[in-house]
């Protein structure tokens, strides 16, 4: 269960607070953390707080630019980048050291995640960037939403050839589409995402767009399950969370124990 950190730079409930509430409900969250809004001092402080609240999984992101959000006139921070964030949290955990080198008594015990986007450019650098992220401290990787399965496989093959898939758990991102319009919007307006025309055509020609979107998502999860080097999926049913279990069941994923 991923808890986003003011995604698209729109003010939301703090990801750490929300993640702590999930823990109280018996659900293990992945708290997302961006470097857009906090400098290294605030991040380390927040991470200590998150660990004190029982948060273990942290996804380290640079964050959507504030231009996209509801406070486009805000000053961004970007004191460090997502690579530095991984390294900083890894050093806190493994070396019991803050970024400045000072020692701490009790380390935050974290499982560190990073994002990878095989659909962004330059494509050849994307595997190298994955290697850098693993080296910096990533224990798991969450990919951008996958519609262009061939490109994802090409990236995964290159990562496997470089020995990277043995070093990290890769979760493939799946975002169910609600309509052909939504597919076109993602293709044309969302930077760093690719939606092939074949997917747009399927959505356009479907009598029930929403059902087709779920069907495509289920097929994608099934394809991902077969790929060597993919350890799991991350289903991002945006404002459609009730469909997650339908997609998971439809793709034959094992049912998790604990609260739904």
Residues that bind another protein (CB under 8 A): 36, 40, 62-65, 67-68, 76, 78-84, 87-88, 99, 115-117, 119-122, 125, 128-129, 131-132, 135-136, 144, 191-192
Instruction: Identify the CA nearest to 130 among candidates 97, 163, 153, 92.
Output: 163
Name residue, tokens 């690579």.
Answer: 83
Tell the smallest beta-carbon distance from residue 7 to another protein (Å).
13
Backbone angles phi, psi at 4, to 5 degrees: -75, 155
Closer to another protein by CB, 64 or 153: give it.
64
Tell the smallest beta-carbon distance from residue 129 to another protein (Å).
5
Tell me the C-alpha distance between 177 and 199, whole Å.
10
Tell the smallest beta-carbon distance from residue 69 to another protein (Å).
11
Closer to another protein by CB, 16 or 88: give it.
88
Closer to another protein by CB, 69 or 229: give it.
69
Segment holding 112, helix H or strand E: strand 111-116
Closer to another protein by CB, 97 or 132: give it.
132
Both tokens of residue 99?
């970024």
Name residue, tokens 């702590």.
Answer: 20
Tell the smallest beta-carbon distance from residue 10 to another protein (Å).
15
Given a contact cutoff of 8 angstroms between Cβ atoms, the answer to whether 180 and 187 are in contact is: no
């Amino acid at each position: 269960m991923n808890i986003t950190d003011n995604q698209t730079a729109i003010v939301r409930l703090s990801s750490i607070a929300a993640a702590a509430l999930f823990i109280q409900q018996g659900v293990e969250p992945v708290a997302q953390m961006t470097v857009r809004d906090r400098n290294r001092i605030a991040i380390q402080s927040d991470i200590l707080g998150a660990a004190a609240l029982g948060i273990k999984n942290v996804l380290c992101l640079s964050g959507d630019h504030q231009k996209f959000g509801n406070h486009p006139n805000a000053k961004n921070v970007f004191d460090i980048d997502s690579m530095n964030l991984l390294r900083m949290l890894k050093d806190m955990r493994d070396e019991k050291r803050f970024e400045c080198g000072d020692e701490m008594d009790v380390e935050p015990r974290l499982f560190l995640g990073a994002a990878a986007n095989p659909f962004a450019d330059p494509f050849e650098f994307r595997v190298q960037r994955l290697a850098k992220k693993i080296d910096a401290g990533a224990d798991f990787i969450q990919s951008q939403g996958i519609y262009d399965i061939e490109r994802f496989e090409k990236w995964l093959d290159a990562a496997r050839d470089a020995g990277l898939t043995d070093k990290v758990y890769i979760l493939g991102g799946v975002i169910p589409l609600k309509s052909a319009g939504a597919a076109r919007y993602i293709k044309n307006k969302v930077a760093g995402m690719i939606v092939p025309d074949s997917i747009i055509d399927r959505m356009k020609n479907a009598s029930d767009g929403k059902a087709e979107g779920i069907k495509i998502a289920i097929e994608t999860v099934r394809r991902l399950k077969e790929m060597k080097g993919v350890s799991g999926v991350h289903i991002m049913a945006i404002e459609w969370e009730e469909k997650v279990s339908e997609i998971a069941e439809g793709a034959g994923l094992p049912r998790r124990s604990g609260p739904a």
